[in-house]
Amino acid sequence: MPKQPPINPDINDIADRAKHAYATGSQLLAATQYRIAELAASGRLDPDESMSLQINLAYIWEELYYGTVDAVRDRDIDVFSEGDNTYSDGRPVKVQIQIEPFESSDLNWEHNSLVLGFGAVIQYPPGTISNIAPVNPEDDPGRGGATL
């Protein structure tokens, strides 16, 4: 019989890593949704296929959420709160800044009609820049945020 692998006993570390994985994975999924829309707009991808792919990405985003942040939440006291974006030491997981006026970035992006309005794009709208902090500040590789 296989031996059970060791389990991390530090619940704060587990929660922090889950929050980081969710933020990082969501950012990558949003960038992919936007790229798929651009490909459809350029005619290099069928618009219907673009939407089909984005629907799949939205399902992946939901599963990522349920398998990370939602899995480590105490449902008795914390439901969909700012705690999702806060490490156990109080630092924010993701800092996001609107770098373009909302009206000119989100509402008027030339490919809006080709972006599914659901999924990771909700958390990473066009015209924002996001920086995801490392789980441990001393482990910061100096990676900057992504502009979407």
Q: Is the pLDDT of residue 142 over 70?
A: no
What digits encode the pLDDT tens for the residues 82-141?
788 999 999 999 999 988 776 655 556 666 778 888 899 999 988 889 999 999 988 766
In a domain, 5, yes or no: no
CA-based Rg of the chain, rounded to a whole angstrom?
17
What digits encode the pLDDT tens for the residues 41-61?
999 999 999 999 999 999 999
The confidence score (pLDDT) of residue 148 equals 54
The confidence score (pLDDT) of residue 113 equals 78
In a domain, 6, yes or no: no
In a domain, 18, yes or no: yes
Q: Whole domain around residue 60: which residue ranges? A: 11-147
| DSSP assignments along 93-128, one per residue | SEEEEE-S-HHHHTSS-TTGGGS-SSSGGGTS-TTE
In a domain, 51, yes or no: yes
In a domain, 64, yes or no: yes
In a domain, 52, yes or no: yes
In a domain, 78, yes or no: yes
**Strand partners for 146:** 130
Burial of 92 (0-12, 13-18, 19+ CB in 10 A): middle
Distance CA 11, CA 146 (A): 29
In a domain, 3, yes or no: no
The confidence score (pLDDT) of residue 108 equals 60
The confidence score (pLDDT) of residue 102 equals 60
What digits encode the pLDDT tens for the residues 57-74?
999 999 999 999 999 887
DSSP H/E element including 144: none
Q: Is the pLDDT of residue 2 over 90?
A: no
Domain count, the chain: 1
Predicted TM-score of the model (pTM): 0.84
